[in-house]
Amino acid sequence: MENFKILKNIKLLICDIDGVLTDGQFIKSSNGDELRSFNALDGVGFVMLRLLNLNIKTAWITGRESVTTTLRAEELKIDDVYNGVIRKIDAYNELKEKYSVEDEEICFIGDDIIDIPLLEKVGFAVTVPNAPEYMRRYVHYTTKIPGGHGAVREVIDMIIDSRENFDSKLEELLKDLR
C-alpha cells in the first residue's frame, strides 16, 4: 500500500454512494422500485473499522434520495447518512461540528462534480477510476478498484494499515473466527 501519512490522523470517513459504493447503475422495476448493488467487500470494511475500535466515524452523503441507501447504512451501522443532498458542503460542515474534527482529519471519497467542494477541503481526498477524468485534479489518490467493486474497502484497508501493522490488525479480527 502507498504510504500516506495523513491517513494516520483520519477520524471521519465520508463516502458518496452512486459511483463509489455502487457502480452508479440503477435498476428500475415496472412498479417504480429502484434497486442498487452494493459490494460486500466495502461492507466488511466498515465492519472492520468498527470492530477494530479505531475511533473513526463514518458518514454517507448522497445527492440522490434512496430507501436502499438508508437500509444498507443501517445494516452496516454507518454513523450518519445524508440522502438527497446536492449541496454536500452543508452536511460536511454539520459533521465537522458534530464530531469536533478538522478538515485534515477527514477522508472523503467522491466521484462527480457535486463532490468537488468536499474533495477540495478534506485531508485525504479520494476518487475512483470510473469517475470523470477531470476529478483527478481534486484528489490525493485514485483507487485502483472501481466504485461499486470494493474501492471503499481499498481505502479502509489503507486507513487501518496506517494505524498499526495491518497484519497484526488482521490477526486481531481473525482470532474470533478460528
Q: Closest Cα partner for 58 from 5, 20, 10? A: 10
Query: Nearest Cα to 117, choosing from 46, 42, 14, 10?
Result: 14
For residue 75, count other CB atoms closer than 10 A to its CB.
Answer: 12
Task: Give yes or no for a contact between 18 and 129, defined as CB atoms under 8 angstroms apart.
Answer: no
Question: Is CATH 3.40.50.1000 the right assignment for the domain spanning 5-174?
Answer: yes
Contact 164, 53 (CB under 8 A): no
Amino acid at 26: F
- Can you give the residue ranges of every domain in the chain? 5-174
Burial tier of 11 (Cβ tally within 10 Å: 0-12, 13-18, 19+): middle
pLDDT, position 2 = 59
Give every residue of the chain whose pLDDT is below 50, as ranges.
none
Q: Residue 172: CB partners within 8 Å, gap ≥ 6?
A: 52
Paired with 109 in beta bridges are: 15, 126
Q: 4's torsion region: left (phi>0), alpha (psi -120 to 50) or beta?
A: beta
Cell representation of residue 69: 441507501
The CA distances from residue 79 to 82, 95, 104, in Å, are 10, 10, 19
Cα dist. 102→35, 46, 87, 119 in Å? 35, 21, 19, 14
Q: Give CA–CA dist 21/13, Å, rounded.
A: 13
